[in-house]
Copies of this chain bind each other. A is one copy, B any other.
Amino acid sequence: MSVLPQITAAIGEKYVLTGGDTADYVTDWTGAYSGQPLAVLRPADTAQVAAVLKIANENGTPVVPVSGHTGLTGATLGTDALILSLDRLSQITKIDPKGRTATVGAGVILSTLHDAVDAHDLIFPLTFGARGSAMIGGVLSTNAGGSNVVRYGNTRDLCLGVEVVMADGRIMNLMSALHKDNSGLNLRQLVIGAEGTLGIITAAVMKLWPKPRAYGTAMVAVPSLDDALDLLNIVQDETGGAVEAFEYMPRNYIDRHMALVKGATAPFAESYDINILLEVGATAEHDAAPTLTGEIPIISKMEAILGNMLENGKVIDAVIAQNEAQRRTMWERREQAGEIVFQGGPFVNTDVAVPIDKVGAFEAAVTPRLKAIDPDARELIVAHLGDGNIHHTTYTKHNDPSIHDAMTAAVEDVVQELGGSFSAEHGIGLSKLETMRRRKDPVALDAMRAIKAALDPKGILNPGKVIPD
């Protein structure tokens, strides 16, 4: 029996899309995944989400939540499933400038929240390329990362409270704005990053931060990744932990950027192996306001640190942005990674993490293993070095999926040997399900299966994602 008549009665015919109207939800933006939904549902509010889940659960119909639809892992697609879009839950209910929190629906677009809090001289720090489409529900469900995790943490660190509709349609209210709350098991942290497999996040209380009044942004060349880590630690100590970004671009990334992106420029007069984009954010007036001689203190401080390290040979070269245009140029070099990476296939792309002092060991170990598979393989790395997150791509002449799988396995082998993770910030979805099965601690996998069965006994919530059978 179709559930659609009941659901149509609950949320209105206009918001039950079928047939050709579901086109936007049949495939993802990368084109790698697809599914033929039973229907796409656009409930108006939490009560309607609850009504849908109750009906779906009674009928054992799969439900796949989606918000901004910008993921990379195929998590928001499904065949013969109800695709439940949170996009209409788009209210910013409250911004509390004193308590520094925002209460938002799951359908609030990330950049909309950025703009709304900017008016209070505050920031919601999470940011990444898809910010104009990605929504709060999705960033919470995937525990999204980005470029400033080194300062502000991942999405789970930015969230104080959540509202979740459970598989059976009951609403779990954990919408607190508390910085301390030891009242039993932490269910908020459990549903964050669960990719909709345990419940559907409908609203959240997010933390806000003071807006930096000035940035110190630099490109720095260093002799080794070990020196880069010293640089990070010194700048952290000397600024009281104000490092907003610490991004690593090796020589061939810079070369490729200049070859592929029109108008791209070199960061330095000479070419170096290890290029770091370093950004420090100053919220303090005394760090941000120009002195009588026109200098910005945070930038003077950065000059002093870098000058000192240049003398010690821990830094080879450094350029500090003198204005916003120069800063933008530095950031564009990093943010154009998508254009640089996704050209010139075939390629094998990974999103892995290692302890921050193991990035160099990763590089040294991975190359010979890839060369053993394809002697002509070329690699490209761009990394959030401040948090150990490496985006590693291998270009090969081979189209054979088994060779691609072997390359992925080679990268993941090295990561595993270094105590790393095969999924840093993109999540599991469908794309890493088999890797989860092979590599995740088997006791942890069993615990995940037990929790999934306990909270979603009929298995209707995003079935077949994240947790391998």
Chain A residues within 8 Å of B, Cβ to Cβ:
96, 98-101, 142-143, 145, 149-150, 154, 156-157, 166, 170-187, 189-190, 192-194, 197-198, 210, 226, 229-230, 233, 236-242, 281-287, 301, 353-358, 384, 386-389, 419-428, 432, 436, 440-441, 443-448, 450-455, 466-467
* A358 proximity list for chain B (CB < 8 A): 99
Complex CA gap A194/B283 in Å reads 37
Q: How far is the CB of A304 from chain B (nearest CB, A)?
A: 8
Complex CA gap A189/B239 in Å reads 30
- Of all chain B residues, the one with the shortest Cβ separation from A144 is B182
Q: Do residues A444 and B174 form an inter-chain contact, with CB atoms below 8 A? A: yes
* A194 proximity list for chain B (CB < 8 A): 185
Q: Do residues B182 and A425 form an inter-chain contact, with CB atoms below 8 A? A: yes
Q: Do residues B454 and A183 form an inter-chain contact, with CB atoms below 8 A? A: no
Q: Do residues B180 and A384 form an inter-chain contact, with CB atoms below 8 A? A: yes
Complex CA gap A105/B196 in Å reads 34
8 Å CB contact of A421 from B180, B187, B422: B180
- Of all chain B residues, the one with the shortest Cβ separation from A428 is B184
Q: Do residues A443 and B189 form an inter-chain contact, with CB atoms below 8 A? A: no
8 Å CB contact of A451 from B179, B230, B284, B455: B455
Question: Lowest 3 CB-CB distances: which A-B pairs, in order?
Answer: A189-B189, A454-B454, A450-B454
Q: Do residues B283 and A237 form an inter-chain contact, with CB atoms below 8 A? A: yes
Q: Do residues B178 and A353 form an inter-chain contact, with CB atoms below 8 A? A: yes
* A183 proximity list for chain B (CB < 8 A): 421-423, 428, 432, 436, 440
Q: Do residues B282 and A240 form an inter-chain contact, with CB atoms below 8 A? A: yes
* A176 proximity list for chain B (CB < 8 A): 355, 419-421
8 Å CB contact of A181 from B182, B197, B421, B443: B421
Complex CA gap A245/B161 in Å reads 24
Q: Do residues A185 and B441 form an inter-chain contact, with CB atoms below 8 A? A: no
Complex CA gap A184/B189 in Å reads 12
Q: How far is the CB of A408 from chain B (nearest CB, A)?
A: 15
* A451 proximity list for chain B (CB < 8 A): 185, 190, 451, 454-455
8 Å CB contact of A301 from B171, B286, B444: B286
Q: Do residues A186 and B182 form an inter-chain contact, with CB atoms below 8 A? A: no
* A422 proximity list for chain B (CB < 8 A): 183
Q: Do residues B387 and A238 form an inter-chain contact, with CB atoms below 8 A? A: no
Complex CA gap A443/B168 in Å reads 10
Q: Do residues B238 and A466 form an inter-chain contact, with CB atoms below 8 A? A: no
8 Å CB contact of A166 from B166, B236, B286, B447: B447
Q: How far is the CB of A216 from chain B (nearest CB, A)?
A: 12
Complex CA gap A175/B441 in Å reads 10
Q: Do residues A98 and B180 form an inter-chain contact, with CB atoms below 8 A? A: no
* A172 proximity list for chain B (CB < 8 A): 441, 443-444, 447
Q: How far is the CB of A259 from chain B (nearest CB, A)?
A: 29
Q: Do residues A99 and B185 form an inter-chain contact, with CB atoms below 8 A? A: no
* A150 proximity list for chain B (CB < 8 A): 179
